[in-house]
Amino acid sequence: MAGNRTLAIIKPDALGSGKAGKIIAHLEAQGFKIICARVIHMTMAEAGAFYEVHRGRPFYAELVEFMSSGPCMPMVLQKDDAVAAYRTAIGATDPAEAAQGTVRKLYAESKGRNAVHGSDSDENARVEGTFFFGVAALV
């Protein structure tokens, strides 16, 4: 059975340009409930650790630089089948390819500066939630 939590991040582009409220309202209107949330400014080391899985990819350095360029807002969100439901809500990685009405189509600037992060599996949702919130992400 699919899990009911996922880890979302409102990325520095969206938080810095004042889009957090609209993005949260959009997600709440779709039934996502905020379980944990905080605003943090990650160091390059922290952003590098969070995106360790992408180390070696051509965009890794750009991604770490961007994610540590300003504050961001990690959140644990709850909804039935949360990982899949949230990825449907945010749309494709590249806003040019994201479906109409998705968060990235509405609010993302580019494939790199794409407004939000979302876990890609229940296992990664637990790992990523714990990265930012410890055991509070799980209880």
> Which positions are annotated as active-site residues?
117
Contact between residue 94 and residue 111 where contact means Cβ atoms under 8 Å apart = yes
> Cβ closer to ligand ADP: 30 or 93?
93
Q: How many CA atoms lie within 13 A of 27 on its CB side?
A: 32
Q: How far is the CB of 85 from ligand ADP (least distance, A)?
A: 15
What is the C-alpha separation between 37 and 108, in angstroms, rounded?
A: 21
70 binds ligand ADP (CB under 6 A): no
What is the C-alpha separation between 47 and 92, in angstroms, rounded?
A: 21
Residue 112 interaction partner, one of Mg ion, ligand ADP, none, beta carbon < 5-8 Å per kind? ligand ADP
Q: Which of 30, 78, 93, 130 binds ligand ADP (CB under 6 A)?
A: 93
What is the C-alpha separation between 43 and 41, in angstroms, rounded?
A: 7
Site string for ligand ADP, 101-130 (x = CB under 6 A): ----------xx-x--x--x----------
Contact between residue 42 and residue 68 where contact means Cβ atoms under 8 Å apart = yes
> Cβ closer to ligand ADP: 83 or 137?
83
**Which residues inside 10-49 make contact with ligand ADP, applying CB under 6 A?**
none
